[in-house]
Structure 1
Amino acid sequence: MARRCEVCGKGPMFGHNISHAHNVTRRVFLPNVHKMRVVEDGQVVRKKVCTKCLKAGKVQKA
């Protein structure tokens, strides 16, 4: 499943885990994406929406 918001396009971001000894390893920050039923042009469709878009009111829940 692609972890990408279908409203704003937010996807996985990359960074580093840094230990106390400064050992650096790669890690992934995943967006908080939920499958929602959304009203779009009078139709109810299922979309993957990040919680930031839900809180900002960018989509209307069905």
Structure 2
Amino acid sequence: MSKFCQISGKGPMVGNNVSHANNKTKRRFLPNLRTIRVDLGDGTTRKIRVAASTLRTLRKKRAN
């Protein structure tokens, strides 16, 4: 399963772990993905993976 948000397209970023001695090793920053159920309108539902930040935005837009 890929680590991408299916709505916003957010994916992993790369960076460095930096130790106290200033040694640098590669690391990945993964998005905070949540699996949610979405109603497609015709009575069917589908599970999609959405970033938590995108989910917050969707809920904010829906409330207004």
TM-score for the superposition, normalised by structure 1: 0.84
Q: How many residues align?
A: 59
Structure with more of its chain in helix, by fraction: 2
**In terms of Rg, which structure is larger?**
2
Identity of paired residues, percent?
41
Structure 2 distance, partners of 1:47, 1:29, is 21
Residues 17-58 of structure 1: per-residue CA shift (max 9 Å, x gap): 001111000000000001110123x14211000101110017
C-alpha RMSD of matched pairs (Å) = 1.9
Stretches of 4+ moved more than 3 A in 1?
none
Aligned position for 2:24:
24
Unpaired runs of 5+ residues, structure 2, are none
TM-score for the superposition, normalised by structure 2: 0.81
Unpaired runs of 5+ residues, structure 1, are none
